[in-house]
A and B are shown apart, each in its own frame.
Chain A
């Protein structure tokens, strides 16, 4: 109750009282956050400058208007005056706004030019949006990965209590070093997305086939959260951005460790080629992979969304045509929302998920797909 009262008061008294309380992510954040970079600070100052100018203009205009509404009422005996133009006044209120505009435009232009600094960066990350996840590739290192929403579906469906970072948490955040210029090259695999971290004041559209760039230099270590900002289809609301800024030494250690893990995983994969996994193992791994990577479109029950995303349950491909099935999962299908999962999942996961799709929801083909089958399709054998 107290909170709601505060909320009402907050909305009524918003103007300045709470303007500076926006730093923490509280329930009643009313203002832009100052952010953690020099640029985001400049943007915040510019925002406040604009805000105060607008409030001042509004107070003057509404003040005059309310004065007239009170003192020039007919019920108070006001008699109408006869003036209906005044060249002087009209020129004045055309020229004065011009001057105010120049006053606004100059600092805005300065900040804008500072934002578009294309000098060399210390770290470059290629950010690729796709429906509905982000992919990060460190251009100077041997490291790349997908970053997916980590909130459990049960929380979204109101079956579990919602966690603190509901919808703003991912399985693998982007990690960047503090105090260094980090450059983001932003592009997309399918529709237009927009990569946004409010604390960096960075928002850039990810256009398919084109690259955009943005940069940041974060001073404080921390976890910074944002979201996709451009409508990109069904799960647009479910593709958050999480960036962790670490100090350079920790960052270096983290990258090296991740590189080693990814190298090792690739080696392990080669060993897998000689092995056969059991149906049980394939199905259990497959179900997990299906729910994170496929269920968003094809739905947990395999029935898809009629007219939008095809059903897998009872589909001809899943029941009969195994090579085509492997091919579409590995390579995707051009001109549709079906992505190429060959780049996103390991051989084992691919094998498992295809097996799962061929045996779940009454698709009881009894087929098992092994890593080597997937590898064969990938390499055209």
Chain B
């Protein structure tokens, strides 16, 4: 192979390197793509983390859906975390409110973050929350208590075969990471 043909390699190499760089970027693009994928298929029961708007939803009184709530706190999170009703029966399209209670029994101020998860996962696509404590961090001073409301409706499009689903909230102690962010910003 003579030297004059060298640049030919160069062009191909540049293209291939572009593929490599592109695929490295794609690896990171999988993070938002995964969320899109979850929104479409309901993998893992992720719910929207922004408020839905209740507007012009028709209530489907022909059927009832039971929504079950589970409250958990993760290791290292000393809060007491309960829900006023374990189960609510709602018609799809009907607004409902459920109150959650949290108490910080520790002697330090703690910022909590609730992470929702729905099972079966497809139901997550039809659970619309107009207001939820899980959208924001929840700071509680030492010894303080709070009532945390959650307002939601079940989309009338919910498949007929889902008559029952579970919503779990896990509370995490995010005091340290919130403090980091505050420090970086301030």
Contacts and interface: CB of A to CB of B under 8 A. Distances in A.
A330 B78 contact: yes
Interface residues of B, number: 35
Interface string A307-348: 000000000000000000001001111111011101000000
A92 B182 CA distance: 67
A185 interface: yes
B8 interface: no
A124 B173 CA distance: 27
A342 B105 CA distance: 12
B46 to A, nearest CB: 8
A378 B143 CA distance: 11
A380 B106 contact: yes
Interface in B153-186: 161-166, 168, 170, 172-173, 176
B60 to A, nearest CB: 18
A185 B120 contact: no
Interface residues on A, range: 35 or more
Interface string A159-203: 000000000000000000000000001010110000000000000
A289 interface: no
A331 B76 contact: yes
A220 interface: no
Contacts of A227: none
A211 B76 contact: no
A331 B73 CA distance: 10
A339 B77 CA distance: 10
Contacts of B17: none
B48 to A, nearest CB: 15
Given A119-B163, A211-B119, A379-B105, A334 B76 contact: yes
Given A330-B78, A332-B75, A120 B106 contact: no
Interface in B39-53: 44-45
Interface in A109-152: 116, 118-120, 124, 126, 128, 130, 139
A380 B72 contact: no
A126 B167 CA distance: 12
A77 interface: no
B115 interface: yes
A371 B118 CA distance: 38
B119 A190 contact: no
A29 interface: no
B104 interface: yes
A209 interface: yes
Question: Among the interface residues B66, B107, B119, B143, which one has the most CB atoms of the partner chain A within 10 A?
Answer: B119
A313 to B, nearest CB: 23
Interface of B: 44-45, 66, 68, 70, 72-78, 86, 104-107, 115, 117-120, 142-143, 161-166, 168, 170, 172-173, 176
25 contacts: A118-B120, A118-B162, A118-B165, A139-B86, A185-B70, A209-B172, A210-B168, A211-B168, A213-B120, A213-B166, A331-B76, A332-B75, A332-B76, A333-B75, A334-B74, A334-B77, A334-B172, A334-B176, A338-B75, A338-B76, A339-B75, A340-B77, A340-B78, A342-B78, A380-B106
Interface of A: 116, 118-120, 124, 126, 128, 130, 139, 185, 187, 189-190, 207-213, 327, 330-336, 338-340, 342, 377-381
